Every structure is written in structure tokens, then in C-alpha cells.
Amino acid sequence: MTTARDAILANLAKGRLAAEPVPDFALPGWTNDAPGHFIAKAKASVAEVHTIGTADEAPETILAIMAANQLQPFLHLPSLSPLNALPWHRAPGLTITPEPPSGNDSAFSQADYGIAETGTLVFFSGPQSASSWHFRSGREFVLLSRQGIVPRFEEIIAGVKTLGRMPATLNLITGPSRTADIEQTIELGAHGPRAIDILIAG
């Protein structure tokens, strides 16, 4: 039995082609304005985009958006998120809760990167950013640093390498959740938020 097995494996080995070297591939240089391109692509994906001067302006901006859309002034924010350190006293009447959101709630998160090519938000999972929160709320507010907007996905991979470890989950989110499975009609909120508000700071 062993001899026959060895003979089969030897024949298979002979039939294998020599491994091709990995091509030395380089992407062409990015010449567009990355933040501007990101904003255009994000809006095309039905995301709402708001520009603010600094991250400290996020609380009052979120409260204003909630008031304009007649949303309840309750915002779900993970207890370990660094966003808890923002000046929430600037948004009187807005209640912050660490409880996981439901489909009728609003949540707040911080994106690690934005991809200009597609208007995509990038989130690394971790104790401060639970992946499940991106799929639970009805509306998600996202803080994104202008300096965190990179041209392409390849820059994200380079950023992961600098961490020294791969996050348990890498979430890529482009606009609100949607599906057209039923009668080819677009329905928002199929697997996640029905609306996304991106606050670009800087």
C-alpha cells in the first residue's frame, strides 16, 4: 500500500508546474484629492457626510443631526471607546449609554481609516470597538480623521502590518446596509444601519 501511494504522489509531483515568482507590481501614483474623492464616493453610496473642524465638535454636531431628523437624543457608545472622552457637555440633552444598540437606536463609532477609491470606512475590531455594533443600530454616526483617509485598500493592508498583529475582524463598510434580493428593489437596513452619518474631522 505504501509503495503504491508513494508512486501516485511521485507522479503527481512530476506533473506540477514550477512555482512562478511573484511579480514586482506597483500601483500607479494617486493624483486625486483623497478626502474630496472619499466624500464624493461616500455620498454616492447614500451616506451622509459632515465636515467638522476637530473631533471635539462631534457632540453638538450629532445632537443637531438628531434634532433635524427627529431622532430620540440617545446615543449608544461602548464603555471602552476613547470617544467617551469627547466634550459631551456641549450637547445638553443628549444621553450617552454603553448598552448595545437595537435596530431603532443610534450608535457612535470611530473609523480607523477611510478608503478614498470607494468611500469605504475601515474598522479594526478590538476591546474598544466591538464589530457587532456596526450591524445592530438603525443609524450609525462615525468619526473619521481627515488624515486617516488613504487612496486605496492596499494602504490599509500596509497599516495592518504596522500593528504587528492582524485584528480579529476587519470591517469594511460602504454606505448604509442594503439589499435588492426581493423583486430587485433596494431596501436599506437589511443587515445593518439604515443610515450612516460620517463626521470628517480636520
Give tens-digit pLDDT for 22-31. 777 778 888 8
Rounded to the nearest 10 degrees, how much is the dihedral formed by the CA atoms of 199, 119, 171, 148? -60
Mean pLDDT of the chain: 87
175: left (phi over 0), alpha (psi -120 to 50) or beta: left
Q: Please report, for the chain, the start and end positions of each structural domain, with discontinuous segments joined by +.
A: 33-201
Q: Is the pLDDT of residue 10 over 90?
A: no
Classify domain 33-201 by CATH number: 3.40.50.10420
Distance CA 78, CA 128 (A): 7
Counting residues of the chain whose pLDDT is more than 70, the rounded percentage is: 91
Confidence at 137, pLDDT banded by 50, 70, 90: confident
pLDDT at 176: 79
Say what the pLDDT of residue 55 is: 97
Above 80 in pLDDT, residue 190? no
pLDDT score at 76: 95
Does pLDDT of 164 surpass 80? Answer: no
Stretch (H or E) spanning 43: helix 34-44
Percent share of the chain, pLDDT over 90: 54
Model pTM score? 0.81
pLDDT of the residue at 21: 79
Reply yes or no on whether the pLDDT at 184 is more than 70. no
Name 38's Cβ contacts closer than 8 Å, sequence gap at least 6.
114, 115, 116, 119, 149, 200
